[in-house]
A and B are shown apart, each in its own frame.
Chain A
């Protein structure tokens, strides 16, 4: 699009202003207050109207007021432009509230207004359609304000601004801010679980709390209703119980009346019985004085009298009998007179002597037996010794010979053993010598001869055969030993000789030993023994018997002497006895001392017979005396007993009589009669007491008057008890009491429950109010949850949109920026890349590395900014139509050099797009004029003073 002509009829300070533009660079110069901005706004307004971008409603803008000329004429004007396809349009617009907008084909004059859509504000969308940009985007891209003086960081800001433009559609609002705003809103509400204290979490908590409260209240309410139900049940139960209690009371009254009637009858009977008992008791009153306490004593006394009378008779009879016996016994004792004359000590002396006699006699008998035993033993031993015969005399000599033989035999045996042991060695030596020598019989013969000669010589010398044999054996050995280094032959001969000698010696020893053995056998045969051991045992036995026989003989001799002494003692004892016992005189005769050894047993037997005779007489005497003594004692005792009985009998009779007197009777029979009367009286008294007690007991349960008045009270009660209640008054009364107790318990429970319920109702929270509050809290929570949901979804959608835009925008930005940098740097750089945050980096062609755009030189940067800024419009337009750029004092802060370069770049821009540079500085005009072609300078009139 290229603007061709502006025709301001009236707009702000301008009246009838006409300006014509070239399709290239147009510098519109005017001092401050000349109305550059107004003109800019006019151009924008002609294309898009004066509404705020995005606003939907045609609003009474303060701006309109400002732009209305002072004379009140409606702000209006026209604009002629052509699109890139060459078609020329004319727009006429009245900006006032009831104004209009019309569009014509400038070539044909045809009005095209109806061809274009209107938005909901009735704004005609011709410019938007032709440019592919809405008013907001047009302002954001085509209108370029002042550029910053500083260079550092410019591209960052530039990138950010570009990003904002692409994101929010507004240069100064980034997507980040949009998201931050939504996040901030979400943060205000808070997370349902993470942000305690924030409204959402608080609201959730409140709902939970109220729900819990509501639940509790409902539970209490439910409990109350349950209690109401229980109360109703209890009241019914209580009413039932009350009915039962009444019915029981009625039944009880019937039973009570019946009982009262029965009791009244009984009371009357009892009173009658009492009167009868009293009458009887009075009739027997006289017997009351009887001393009944004495009765047992009287009975006992009368029995005692009877028994004692009997005892007296028996005792007198017994006494008579005893006296007779006494007399008879005394008569019998006459035969014992001599004994009775004895010294009173005689008995003791006899007894002592008898004991002594008995002891001596036992001793004598034992010694006699011992003596006989010893004599028998001596005889036996003499016989035993005879068995040993010759041995008895020669044993010692024989034993000596045997020992000698044994010693010889032992020595021979030792020698023989030693020789036998040395024989194998000699045999080996001989074998060795024979081998060494060969078999030379001459030598062997020599040896044998030498040996024989030696043996013969020696035998003559030595008498002892054993020693001779030893000498024969020792000779060759000695020879052998004497000549150890002799020639082998000699050695062999000697060895042979020695061996032969040895063998001979052995034979000789054996012969000696056999002789010794024969001699021993002969000795043993003489002693009658088979072996030496047996011989020795028999010899020892023989010696022992001899000793024992000698000992027995000497003991027998000693006993002989003892017996004589004892016989003498016996004689003395017997004499003493005989002296005292005349009847035993002959005892002494049998005890003659001389006969002790030969006739002692007969003497003793005679003495014993005397003693037995005396003893029998003595025993008889003693018995007789004892009988007499015993009878005398019995007589005395019987006499005493009789006296005692008589005394007792007398006492009892006196006591009994005195008691009968007290009882006022003469006899026991009378006493019995009086007692029976007394008993009858006592019985009558008891019966009266019992009757009185029974009556008293009966009266404790009420007297006749009480019963009569009770009966009067119960007169109205029906006759019969209902069957259900039975006849048992106590049981019914118990049941009635139990029922009353139950009733009172039920009533108490009813009252308790009523009170509890009353309290519970007082304490019960207002469930309806709680429900309403809960409902409100839930709604509030729902509201916050909805709001959070909205914000979350909005955030997701904004983010998604942002990503989408970035995906599309970044490559296009790269393209535009790359093209710009190429043209600006004359091909030095050819590629620019936007990073994820739309920061721009140039690619160094030599190395391929990425450099920040900020590293470019200042002039290059200015051009780069302009290139991007103008390129952005191309990015944001929908159809590819070029946009006229409106620069408002853009370079006001540039130095001359930068300005020149910038203007130079603007001329590059004008190759495709129209540029309107509004400025208040002559510099720009001059700079532009340096580039002759395609530049038009327009001057605005100075400010009009109103």
Chain B
């Protein structure tokens, strides 16, 4: 039995608002267009690779913000691959509710959208779309019809004919390792994946690429289930590689690889500004820390660190504005602190001394790092006042 060529993607989040990136209106629109361009490259890749099956494991769209024009754009692209079968398993961000475009828009014949019960589609069925080859392949899928789906639904999946090449596409959470800030909708485990007997399980939900199940086969190791990550990096919180999975799935061997298709990456860096006395010092430190080609291409989140002169006000808005021309996108945070000799100040037999002692005592007791940071800022703000100045800490 010949292996089948697949392209597996997930978490495109088309028309997302990029609220997390704090983009200006125009920048957000540009980014939205870039995301569509990335999707265009994915379709081009499918065409080049002559993929017989495209598996989209959820969150293709951003339900709350998606435009009808984007849906049309998608459908036009899918229609440009008439011999490729496209399977969409809607996820928690693009649940196929009654009023969603999945239900109201007229999708091309080669696109199949899964609903809230497991369904298997035989690629050699007689009613297959015109022009699509008959393949001994069955694609199983489950689609969200609401924004929260719980329960280990993968256990319900029954593969009808293990003799065929069985593909599964679903938007679910590998609960063996849930990334920070992710809600474990439709939980699943590698064991449950293995129990399905599927030849490949195309997963979505986690934005970083990750293999969930890899087994030893007669011809070496074989990846059975994985997350490809979002094709384009979507925010600073998404660690790991991004791309789409392309390759062959067969009964004994899967030859799959992660292809990079994203245009930009989200990069988070700490930049030390220790000893800086003036804003110019800070700007210089940042420019030195981030290479020029990188900052023109990618999206940076920089965290300023180190002890600075107490009189230096780290006005992040003003600094960001000064650096804006040097970066495609820059987000500045600061954990830098003013360089006070707190021990010495605490020894003073004055109200300032008492103030410092009180706050140091409080910081000593505080466990929560967030609270520690807040109370440190209270300390520095008070010390500024004792120096007769007001600085936005």
Q: Which residues of A approach B to under 8 Å, CB–CB?
A: 54-57, 119-121, 125, 128, 134, 136-137, 165-169, 173, 175, 177-179, 181-182, 184-185, 218, 221-222, 224-226, 228-229, 231-232, 761, 766-776, 779, 786-787, 789-791, 793-794, 797-798, 800-802, 804-805, 875-878
Does B378 lie within 8 Å of A166, measured CB to CB?
Answer: no
- Cross-interface CB contact of A181 among B20, B377, B388, cutoff 8 Å: B388
CB distance from B75 to the nearest CB of A (A): 14
Does A56 lie within 8 Å of B386, measured CB to CB?
Answer: no
Number of CB contacts from chain A to chain B under 8 A: 176
Does B101 lie within 8 Å of A798, measured CB to CB?
Answer: no
Does A801 lie within 8 Å of B17, measured CB to CB?
Answer: no
Contacts A226-B99, A768-B16, A790-B374: A181 and B28 contacting too (C-beta < 8 A)? no
Does B354 lie within 8 Å of A801, measured CB to CB?
Answer: yes
Does A181 lie within 8 Å of B385, measured CB to CB?
Answer: yes
CA distance A769 to B99 in the complex (A): 22
Is B65 an interface residue when CB atoms closer than 8 A count as contact?
yes
Is B268 an interface residue when CB atoms closer than 8 A count as contact?
no
CA distance A774 to B17 in the complex (A): 11
- By a CB distance below 8 angstroms, the chain A residues around B341 are 54, 56, 119-121
Question: Which of B4-12, B117-125, B217-225, B345-353 forms contacts with chain A?
Answer: B345-353
Does B354 lie within 8 Å of A769, measured CB to CB?
Answer: no
CA distance A793 to B386 in the complex (A): 14
- By a CB distance below 8 angstroms, the chain A residues around B18 are 768, 772
| A-facing residues in B24-57 (Cβ within 8 Å) | 25, 28-29, 32
Does A798 lie within 8 Å of B103, measured CB to CB?
Answer: no
CA distance A413 to B32 in the complex (A): 154
- By a CB distance below 8 angstroms, the chain A residues around B351 are 166-169, 175, 798, 801-802, 804-805
CA distance A775 to B23 in the complex (A): 10
CB distance from A206 to the nearest CB of B (A): 15
By beta carbon, the residue of chain B nearest A791 is B381
The 6 closest A-B pairs by CB, nearest first: A228-B104, A775-B19, A169-B350, A771-B17, A768-B17, A801-B354
CB distance from B234 to the nearest CB of A (A): 13
| A-facing residues in B322-356 (Cβ within 8 Å) | 339-341, 343-345, 347-355
CA distance A482 to B101 in the complex (A): 158
CA distance A139 to B21 in the complex (A): 51
Does B348 lie within 8 Å of A137, measured CB to CB?
Answer: yes
- Cross-interface CB contact of A169 among B340, B386, B393, cutoff 8 Å: B386
Can you list 27 A-B contacts with CB-CB less than 8 angstroms, sorted by A residue number? A54-B387, A56-B309, A57-B275, A57-B339, A167-B350, A169-B350, A173-B386, A178-B388, A222-B99, A224-B68, A229-B103, A232-B104, A232-B105, A232-B106, A769-B29, A772-B22, A772-B28, A775-B17, A787-B392, A794-B378, A797-B359, A797-B382, A798-B351, A802-B351, A804-B351, A876-B350, A878-B349
CA distance A877 to B350 in the complex (A): 11
- By a CB distance below 8 angstroms, the chain B residues around A185 are 390
Is B152 an interface residue when CB atoms closer than 8 A count as contact?
no
Interface size class of B (residues with CB under 8 A): 35 or more
Does A801 lie within 8 Å of B275, measured CB to CB?
Answer: no
Is B263 an interface residue when CB atoms closer than 8 A count as contact?
no
Is B64 an interface residue when CB atoms closer than 8 A count as contact?
yes
- By a CB distance below 8 angstroms, the chain B residues around A228 are 68, 99, 101, 104-105
Is B15 an interface residue when CB atoms closer than 8 A count as contact?
yes
Contacts beyond the supplied A56-B341, A137-B349, A768-B16: 9 A-B pairs with Cβ under 8 Å: A57-B309, A134-B344, A178-B386, A229-B99, A232-B104, A768-B18, A769-B28, A771-B64, A775-B19
By beta carbon, the residue of chain B nearest A793 is B378
CA distance A571 to B385 in the complex (A): 173
Is B358 an interface residue when CB atoms closer than 8 A count as contact?
yes
- By a CB distance below 8 angstroms, the chain A residues around B355 are 797-798, 801
- By a CB distance below 8 angstroms, the chain A residues around B379 are 794
- By a CB distance below 8 angstroms, the chain A residues around B309 are 56-57
- By a CB distance below 8 angstroms, the chain B residues around A794 are 378-379, 381-382, 385
CA distance A121 to B307 in the complex (A): 13
Contacts A168-B386, A225-B104: A767 and B353 contacting too (C-beta < 8 A)? no
- Cross-interface CB contact of B32 among A179, A221, A768, cutoff 8 Å: A768
Does A805 lie within 8 Å of B275, measured CB to CB?
Answer: no
- By a CB distance below 8 angstroms, the chain A residues around B100 are 225
- Cross-interface CB contact of B25 among A218, A767, A773, cutoff 8 Å: A773
Chain B, residues 93-131, CB within 8 Å of chain A (1/0): the string is 000001111011110000000000000000000000000
- By a CB distance below 8 angstroms, the chain B residues around A120 are 339, 341
CB distance from A760 to the nearest CB of B (A): 10
CB distance from B224 to the nearest CB of A (A): 36
CA distance A224 to B100 in the complex (A): 10
- By a CB distance below 8 angstroms, the chain B residues around A165 are 350
Contacts A165-B350, A169-B348, A229-B98: A56 and B340 contacting too (C-beta < 8 A)? yes
Main secondary structure of the interface of A (DSSP, over half): helix
- By a CB distance below 8 angstroms, the chain B residues around A178 are 385-386, 388
Does B348 lie within 8 Å of A797, measured CB to CB?
Answer: no
The residue in B103, B347, B350, B351 that gathers the most chain A C-beta atoms within 10 A of its C-beta is B351
Does B104 lie within 8 Å of A229, measured CB to CB?
Answer: yes
- By a CB distance below 8 angstroms, the chain A residues around B106 are 232
- By a CB distance below 8 angstroms, the chain B residues around A805 are 350-351, 354
CB distance from A221 to the nearest CB of B (A): 8
Does B19 lie within 8 Å of A797, measured CB to CB?
Answer: no
Does B310 lie within 8 Å of A56, measured CB to CB?
Answer: yes
By beta carbon, the residue of chain A nearest B105 is A228
By beta carbon, the residue of chain B nearest A181 is B385
CB distance from B24 to the nearest CB of A (A): 8
CB distance from B285 to the nearest CB of A (A): 16
CB distance from B378 to the nearest CB of A (A): 4
The residue in B62, B98, B99, B390 that gathers the most chain A C-beta atoms within 10 A of its C-beta is B99
CA distance A516 to B110 in the complex (A): 165
CA distance A836 to B354 in the complex (A): 19
CA distance A431 to B359 in the complex (A): 142
CA distance A779 to B390 in the complex (A): 21
- By a CB distance below 8 angstroms, the chain A residues around B378 are 790, 793-794, 797
- Cross-interface CB contact of A801 among B310, B352, B392, cutoff 8 Å: B352
CA distance A804 to B375 in the complex (A): 20
Chain B, residues 358-391, CB within 8 Å of chain A (1/0): the string is 1100000000000000110111011001111110
By beta carbon, the residue of chain B nearest A169 is B350
CB distance from B311 to the nearest CB of A (A): 9
- By a CB distance below 8 angstroms, the chain A residues around B388 are 173, 177-178, 181
- By a CB distance below 8 angstroms, the chain A residues around B392 are 787
- By a CB distance below 8 angstroms, the chain A residues around B17 are 767-772, 775
CB distance from B346 to the nearest CB of A (A): 11
By beta carbon, the residue of chain A nearest B97 is A225
CA distance A789 to B101 in the complex (A): 45
By beta carbon, the residue of chain B nearest A129 is B347
Chain B, residues 290-304, CB within 8 Å of chain A (1/0): the string is 000000000000000
- By a CB distance below 8 angstroms, the chain A residues around B62 are 768
- By a CB distance below 8 angstroms, the chain B residues around A769 are 17, 25, 28-29
- By a CB distance below 8 angstroms, the chain A residues around B359 are 797
Does A775 lie within 8 Å of B22, measured CB to CB?
Answer: yes
CA distance A906 to B288 in the complex (A): 60
Does B28 lie within 8 Å of A768, measured CB to CB?
Answer: yes
CA distance A907 to B271 in the complex (A): 60
Contacts A173-B386, A787-B392: A134 and B358 contacting too (C-beta < 8 A)? no
CB distance from B165 to the nearest CB of A (A): 34
Does B65 lie within 8 Å of A767, measured CB to CB?
Answer: yes
- By a CB distance below 8 angstroms, the chain B residues around A225 are 99-101, 104
CA distance A232 to B374 in the complex (A): 54
CB distance from A434 to the nearest CB of B (A): 143
CB distance from A809 to the nearest CB of B (A): 8
Does A775 lie within 8 Å of B99, measured CB to CB?
Answer: no
CB distance from A334 to the nearest CB of B (A): 134
CA distance A770 to B25 in the complex (A): 8
CB distance from A528 to the nearest CB of B (A): 139
By beta carbon, the residue of chain A nearest B104 is A228
By beta carbon, the residue of chain B nearest A787 is B392
